[in-house]
A and B are shown apart, each in its own frame.
Chain A
């Protein structure tokens, strides 16, 4: 039997005005297990706290009920008091007689009996409380960054500079991401590679950073502080540790017809390749679908020409397993598929390009060596039309996205100015819905395009782009302000396509039990107050994987994610919530019902010897990982045999509350 003390708070007159607090204390004295009951003006005051602590010692209390405000207000306070007085903090229960009694009712004759029954309910529950211990788990001092774009690079550098080990897993053969494909960046027009390449090099040379390019996360298990991750290192067929990056193999490769992904398919590359000249690591990979040796068994020119014998056609994928304390998801974005936008003739004409394709065309390292030209006939265009919001702000989910992609207004102004800088005779028309430029020096940037460069902004949209016999593109649109049809014979049309999260995120979200929104962006633990943390403890996010954003915002968020990771890795041990699920192995029949409803992957199964009525046998029984369990209790309801239970809210405790709460 517990020795329970009941403390009834007046909360000044907040409670005492509508509840006869003395009567509640008096009634408590008759309750089973109650050895002490009193009332006091402010239980949360220092005197009130001392009253509780002293009584615990003096009466040798094993449990405490405080009848006061909501547990959401002061449960933590009274638990600390108990702990200081030598009582397990989880032996404290609160009866909410303020928010849910005295403030709801106006009459003492109603408030008092209700407060008494709430007190009785808390006593009934606390009679069944057991001391709970907060667990501890160790922290592996190493972070994993998934994605090697600017978001992942910056996060990795910030964590590594703080002194922790970081691994970057990047799917493609080089880090750099989308930013490495850009020409210049708004609103300052810095050259993208000029500011990115030094960071890439820094990553490669940092003693705390390990790079796994051409690699993918295969499996994740474990929990905050102790993740175990399997990484598939895809076969490059080139030994990273031997290759000197001389590039001779690429010049000798006779298979030159493979689609160049880095240049968005605008030109071709060799079968053995690095995506771009500044690739990190500067080690080529062999595209087996394009390679003559892999298709026919012949050729082998790259291997023959490699002075250091780095090429190995027999190389196999390799799985490495590594432990991490924290994981940052920074998988970035791609543009949406433009095929469903047939009205813009994207499928019909090579001179209708996406904004990212134009970025490659403008880039000195791109397919046209930075010369602005049409992909059909390599002529320099004279009339160009930009169409904004292609697939953005579009409720039709068969081809678009409901959100604003945020970066398009700015990069369009940038592309227009870059073109006008180099080719002042090009006429540029921009069809827009709204021009959105919130950001430091952003609107000024856009206005410069209009006022200084004479870019023609047309408020309206384009209905159809029709290729003409003379090779031009007839752009048919409407100027909504003039209420007039606008027809432009353009040489090139640029589509500002919506951004969308990298499709890999779905698979990754399942592995990491992350929640994603309807558009495949990751959900934050709290959209305002915990913007870089996932709901799953120990997982963080950085960059466009969370929502559309530009480079400065991404870098800022990368820093925020890094400090969260560093804050976690700086701890030696993590405290765990003790109100977690537990299993009565005797009743467990290993049916997996609990595992299926657990949103955190906290339940696994093990073969265990069970003694049941004197019989020993091996059984498959559930086991709960307390570090992963968040204590929602879904498993305890799903369990058909009643084996699953929840500490702090056990079946018996809740039943005791139900039994008592309706008493008069």
Chain B
């Protein structure tokens, strides 16, 4: 683990407020995840990646942008590890470092239609933009 990774790990643990040592690797989070196949690093792997300090891999993963934020993993985690919050934490850390967002504002107009609710745009901006 590099020093930078150690810093990121500390930041993720602070942002998420989770205790990764509680994970018993049961896989309930991954089993509950509706976007499992869209993930390169699976929800149940987040706790051990963070425990090991393998933060660069997490920061570059597709997972952090593909997570739906549906909290199914948070709700069903029997150990209160709350993988969804860890994913959120890594995404936040990634955005803070890149100084920007995943989806660029100029990408948005082409993606909306007359029915697109404000809630959707707000959510995307809040989740993916610093």
Contacts and interface: CB of A to CB of B under 8 A. Distances in A.
A/B contact in complex, CB under 8 angstroms: yes
B78 A478 contact: no
30 contacts: A389-B78, A393-B24, A393-B79, A394-B78, A395-B22, A396-B77, A396-B78, A396-B80, A400-B78, A433-B24, A433-B26, A459-B27, A460-B26, A460-B30, A461-B27, A461-B30, A461-B31, A463-B30, A463-B32, A463-B76, A464-B32, A476-B31, A478-B27, A478-B30, A478-B31, A478-B36, A478-B42, A480-B30, A480-B44, A485-B37
Interface residues of A, number: 20
A217 B10 CA distance: 56
Contacts of B32: 343, 463-464
Chain A CB within 10 Å, residue with most, of B28, B33, B76: B28
Given A395-B79, A463-B33, A463-B76, A483 B42 contact: yes
Interface string A391-402: 001111000100
Given A463-B31, A478-B27, 15 more contacts: A343-B76, A389-B26, A393-B79, A395-B78, A395-B80, A460-B30, A461-B26, A461-B27, A461-B28, A461-B31, A463-B28, A463-B30, A464-B31, A476-B31, A478-B44
Interface in B9-52: 22, 24-28, 30-33, 36-37, 42, 44
Contacts of B80: 395-396
Interface of A: 343, 389, 393-396, 400, 433, 459-464, 476-478, 480, 483, 485
Nearest to B28: A461
B125 interface: no
B6 interface: no
B77 to A, nearest CB: 8
Return the 5 tightest CB-CB contacts between A and B, nearest first: A463-B31, A463-B32, A394-B78, A433-B26, A461-B28
Interface residues of B, number: 20
B24 A463 contact: no
B93 interface: no
Contacts of A483: 42
B72 interface: yes
Nearest to B43: A478
A480 B25 contact: yes
Contacts of A433: 24-27
A459 B27 CA distance: 8
Contacts of B30: 460-461, 463, 478, 480
A483 B79 CA distance: 21
Nearest to A396: B78
A400 B37 CA distance: 29
Contacts of A389: 26, 78
Contacts of B33: 463
Contacts of A477: 31
Contacts of A400: 78
